[in-house]
Amino acid sequence: MEFEAVIGLEVHAQLSTQSKIFCACSASFGAPPNENTCPVCTGMPGVLPVLNRRVVEFAIRTALATSCEVQKKSVFARKNYFYPDLPKAYQISQYELPLALAGHIDIEANGAAKRIGITRIHMEEDAGKLVHEGEFAGAQASLADLNRCSVPLMEIVSEPDLRTPEEAGAYLRRLHDVLVYLEVCDGNMEEGSFRCDANVSVRPRGQKEFGTKAELKNMNSFRNVEKALEHEIRRQIDWIEDGGKVIQETRLWDAAAGVTISMRGKEEAHDYRYFPDPDLLPLVVDDAWVEELRKTIPELPGEKIARLESAYGIPKYDAGILSSSRALADFFEASAAFYGGNPKVTANECIHWKDAAVSGKLSPETIAHAVEDRESGAISATVSKKLVELAIETGRPIRSIRDEKGLTQVSDAGALEEIVSRILAANPKEAESYRGGKTGLLSFFVGQVMKETRGKANPKIVQEVLRKKLG
Ligand code: ADP
Ligand code: MG
Ligand code: ZN
């Protein structure tokens, strides 16, 4: 029997607001333990949460960028569970009436375009963190750091539309880039700003009903999500083929061992005893606000890739790499505007120097001049590379470095002929062998000319002159 996988992803993205979702504490990462806390986010009795307007704006902008329907009225609910890093013993989330519904994201995987549905987007608060460190009464001690309590999160739930680990990876990368383009999330996966739970089931190909799903947690890179899914799909198929039945559970990805491990039976929604939070009014979003926010949506990654491809005639692959960051795409366009040579060459350069380009260590003008000088034959590829390196190091204009160091390429055939004659005279044996049929010796002569000119000769013209002189 042939099986097919069904995958749906739940992404938690930390919103890059300065303060937390229901209090004025800093939401920044890396502060000393429990420094960013107050009575509200540590769950003291008698305090009241106040919703951060910026959090709502970030979530609405995400909803608009993913073609979701922003709901006029949404409600915050209490999700009840006990955990030592959750002092209120409930998490404020949205449940029955979330902020946004029914959107989608377009992806490309295995060369095919596909639209992936987004079920819902809602806002919620994060929990704290337990640090298992040191000893207490002779046993392992655990410490609670509540800095992360009430840091704003947005949960984005996909429809079970994904069929392969590659599609899941493509969806995650695109969603990640959209959030970073919107500047609502810093996208840092190691710090946990963008994390994903993957739901996966298998079914015999052709069957309509979904199989029972497992939920995978603890994957902190795109590659890990893909690997965990590959492994879990294989595991479920093997299990069913051996006569087993998949049970609904939460499994942990162990990246080092490359396996998923059962963590706990999946809790059901009713276990959480959700109910509307009586301390927070329903959130009402009017059309004027939504329209105001719609104006702040930048060109998104998919649109940018398509435009770069058609406007500059560069391959989609290159357009995709350039669009992996807004700053890099802007850098490319600025470079191309400085010099209208072959945009493909400019794209290659921008991709090659991408770290320096996005960190501001390199100017678009430098790349434009490097490309222009190479196309005109004024400098060789090797020299161009060296010059760009020097421009990054010193922050000086590339052409003044070129002129100061006398690195302009020798393309003048007359000057080269003289050098070639000298080299042929100095290597009569090799010249004779070449004329006798050992044409492979051409590169030996090119090398000699390069040595003589300290790499500044235009290799194409050197070859032409050599061929002429060697008959
Ligand atoms: P739960 O209530 O168990 O959290 P949801 O209906 O909220 O389940 O779905 C959670 C995620 O699981 C969604 O992304 C959804 O697309 C996905 N999903 C639902 N059913 C399946 C299934 N049978 N196989 C794979 N993914 C599924
Ligand atoms: Mg769920
Ligand atoms: Zn606080």
The answer on 348 and 253 residing in a single domain is: no
The answer on 222 and 275 residing in a single domain is: yes
- Indicate the number of domains in the chain: 3
Q: Whose CA is closest to 457, among 373, 379, 371, 369?
A: 379
The answer on 457 and 419 residing in a single domain is: yes
**201 CB near ligand 1 (under 6 Å):** yes
The answer on 444 and 359 residing in a single domain is: no
404, 435, 458: which is the final residue of a domain? 404
**79 CB near ligand 1 (under 6 Å):** no
The answer on 327 and 239 residing in a single domain is: no
Helix H or strand E encompassing 165: helix 165-182
The answer on 319 and 400 residing in a single domain is: yes
Tell me what pLDDT residue 318 has: 93
Cα 282 to Cα 3, 51, 71, 74: the distances in Å are 44, 11, 11, 6
pTM of the model: 0.82
Ligand 1 atom 17, closest CA:
8
The answer on 367 and 259 residing in a single domain is: no
Ligand 1 atom 7, closest CA:
157
From the CA of 210, the nearest ligand is 1
Please give the number of the atom of ligand 1 that sits closest to the Cα of 215. 12
**4 CB near ligand 1 (under 6 Å):** no
First to last CA, the chain: 69
The answer on 250 and 122 residing in a single domain is: yes
Tell me what pLDDT residue 380 has: 77
CA of 75 to the centre of ligand 3 (A): 21
Say which CATH number the domain at 456 has.
1.10.10.410
Pocket test for ligand 1, best of 171, 213, 246 (most atoms within 8 A of CB): 213
The answer on 318 and 180 residing in a single domain is: no
Q: What is the DSSP string of 23-62?
A: SSSB--SSPSTT-S--TTTTT-TT------HHHHHHHHHH
Ligand 1 atom 14, closest CA:
8
CA of 308 to the centre of ligand 1 (A): 36
Tokens encoding 202: 């298998």
Packing angle, helices 53-65 and 165-182, rounded to 10? 130
267, 292, 317: which is the final residue of a domain? 292
Taking residue 394's Cβ as centre, other Cβ atoms within 10 Å add up to 11
Please give the number of the atom of ligand 1 that sits closest to the Cα of 212. 23
The answer on 224 and 331 residing in a single domain is: no
CA of 49 to the centre of ligand 2 (A): 24
CA of 122 to the centre of ligand 3 (A): 21
CA of 247 to the centre of ligand 1 (A): 14
Tell me what pLDDT residue 266 has: 66
Domain that holds residue 321: 301-404
Local structure of 233: helix, strand or coil? helix
- Evaluate whether 300 touches 65 at the Cβ level (below 8 Å): yes
292, 310, 339: which is the final residue of a domain? 292
In the block, which residue shows the tokens 């799903």?
A: 213
Taking residue 374's Cβ as centre, other Cβ atoms within 10 Å add up to 20
Q: Whose CA is closest to 351, among 373, 325, 372, 374?
A: 325
Please give the number of the atom of ligand 1 that sits closest to the Cα of 266. 3
CA of 40 to the centre of ligand 3 (A): 5
The answer on 330 and 215 residing in a single domain is: no
Please give the number of the atom of ligand 1 that sits closest to the Cα of 161. 16
Task: Please write down the long-range contacts of 201-207, taking CB distance under 8 Å and 24 or more positions apart.
Answer: 201/5, 201/6, 201/236, 201/246, 202/3, 202/4, 202/5, 202/6, 202/233, 202/236, 202/237, 202/240, 202/246, 203/3, 203/4, 203/6, 204/1, 204/2, 204/3, 204/4, 205/1, 205/2, 205/3, 205/4
Pocket test for ligand 1, best of 199, 203, 208 (most atoms within 8 A of CB): 199
Q: Whose CA is closest to 48, among 92, 17, 12?
A: 92
CA of 157 to the centre of ligand 1 (A): 9
From the CA of 232, the nearest ligand is 1
Strands 249-254 and 214-219: parallel
The answer on 180 and 215 residing in a single domain is: yes
Q: What is the DSSP string of 131-143?
A: EEEEEETTEEEEE
CA of 27 to the centre of ligand 3 (A): 9
Tell me what pLDDT residue 408 has: 66
Q: How far apart are CA 301 and CA 304, in angstroms?
A: 5
Give me the tens of pLDDT residue by residue for the chain, a chain 471 residues long.
799 999 999 999 999 999 999 999 999 988 999 999 999 999 999 999 999 999 999 999 999 999 999 999 999 999 999 988 999 999 999 999 999 999 999 999 888 899 999 999 999 999 999 999 889 899 999 999 999 999 999 999 999 999 999 999 999 999 999 999 999 999 998 888 999 999 999 999 989 999 999 999 878 899 999 999 999 999 999 999 988 888 888 888 888 888 888 887 766 767 889 999 999 999 999 999 999 999 999 999 999 999 999 999 999 999 999 999 999 999 999 888 887 678 888 899 899 988 888 888 888 888 888 888 877 777 777 788 888 888 888 888 888 787 777 666 666 677 778 888 888 888 889 888 888 888 888 888 888 888 887 777 777 778 888 888 887
**200 CB near ligand 1 (under 6 Å):** yes
- Evaluate whether 76 touches 38 at the Cβ level (below 8 Å): no
- Evaluate whether 157 touches 171 at the Cβ level (below 8 Å): no
CA of 438 to the centre of ligand 1 (A): 69
Sequence-distant (≥ 6) Cβ neighbours of residue 82 within 8 angstroms: 89
Sequence-distant (≥ 6) Cβ neighbours of residue 311 within 8 angstroms: none
**236 CB near ligand 1 (under 6 Å):** no
